[in-house]
Chain A
């Protein structure tokens, strides 16, 4: 089983690397349309988002609808960092790596602060409260103004004029207009590397003492309590790690956009992430990767047939749901597709 698990993980990493190789080749050969090129970084961002949300939903067994909020703080803090360092630090890859780390740390802090009160709740209640926190983060970000002049930083939550800046000062964050002029440091390669790091962290965490405790608590809270596990601690760990990875993805996302606005990170975004997780299979990390890719690429490819686009998209959603959840399909998969699509989770 140790080996089987290892094999499973290697297949997941392999899938990502092969996908990268194919896309890199197509890019090199000039065979990708600009539409697809523009999708490459967002796809990576969604994959990371789906995998990290699956850590909370599938591995820890808690429903979070607030991940857009973590993405939002990750994106803004990362972009803010890069804008401030744009002139000082000119080596883009290092600047991006640091910005991603900043996004992750800031989102982790938010994850921890929000997790402490909300993880006492269960099920639907937790979902609703995380949803609310996600919206709060978005709305707070939406009114922030930050400027910089020779006197240092200026803040306001009203408008840019109430910051009282000198005439020559630079506005870094501009309320609903968000952040503009973040260096476009993001690249497909950076996205792939971040995916691999995310997979590494999540898959290895699952396969460690802490991961076992997290899954045990998911399976039976009362029994976990009776054998001395600190339930809050492990719920919080899963939530915070997930928030950090989501924040990292947010930071990457911000470095791919000319303008970053908070309103992008509304609850639809969280729901979309949940759709990836559910359709890829709850608790199935590889499934999340595949679902995020398919469901991001598909609507774009279908743009040509405008009228049928949403129809086909919904049919694909239904098919994926059947593929992952219908007992008959599961049996068929087990028999014919074997290990490649084996679910980590046992249905009861």
Chain B
């Protein structure tokens, strides 16, 4: 099988703190992969490294065989990695629909002048963007709220909107940072279904960070456990979750 994401010996230190140390992972196309670990283990930092927010001190990142180490965040998105954030980052003054349409930005185009004059190509393109955005919103059951200002959405829906916006960039690999944080058990269960559905429908690979063990064991095929920036365990979900080292790290918190 071809690995969509292949990371070797990725490391970054902040001052003396080795936030991520010798991190390696290989994720296959279409996989639903989990990244877990106690607070401060370095999970979000891994996402920031993968998306070029931080430049690694060492290591190499390959997406679909292509070296993307050290590239700009924006270019990495164009190569096919999209993400959500642990602390939600929506375009809060824009409507729900516009949040997704901004995600579609690089897949449609017309000239600035056509935009200002609202010429034919503007109308046609905007219409097609509306259609694609609405399709995405429907997946997340947000179509009724399309015209609501993003800031006014309830918390759970804001998290979903962030996923919809990330998907709008048509990624190969989707990174979800604690997508179920702050959701109740019902919402979490629903979200699990949606994540699975998204993976199948859009034919993408998903790497997710999660604290909710039920969600992790429910949908992730494989896991990597981080502790103090280092890999503690890696492999099949059931196997990893029964690893005594992992249990100790979690109980020892």
Residues of A within 8 A of B (CB): 1, 200-201, 204-205, 207-213, 215-216, 218-220, 222-231, 237, 283, 345-346, 348
Contacts and interface: CB of A to CB of B under 8 A. Distances in A.
Contacts of B125: 209
B169 interface: yes
A228 B74 CA distance: 4
Nearest to A200: B116
Contact of B92 (A204, A212, A224, A346): A346
Given A212-B102, A223-B90, A228 B112 contact: no
Contacts of B53: 222, 226
Given A230-B74, A346-B151, A348-B151, A224 B116 contact: no
B85 A223 contact: yes
Contacts of A224: 91, 102
Contacts, number: 109
B81 to A, nearest CB: 9
> Which secondary structure characterizes the binding site on chain B?
helix
Contacts of A283: 93
A219 B90 contact: yes
Interface in B72-87: 73-75, 77-78, 82-83, 85
A330 B152 CA distance: 16
B25 to A, nearest CB: 20
A89 to B, nearest CB: 27
Contacts of A208: 112, 115-116, 118, 122
B117 interface: yes
A226 B83 contact: yes
A30 B115 CA distance: 42
B105 A227 contact: yes
A208 B105 CA distance: 11
B160 interface: no
A216 B102 contact: yes
A225 B147 CA distance: 24
B149 interface: yes
B180 to A, nearest CB: 19
B57 interface: no
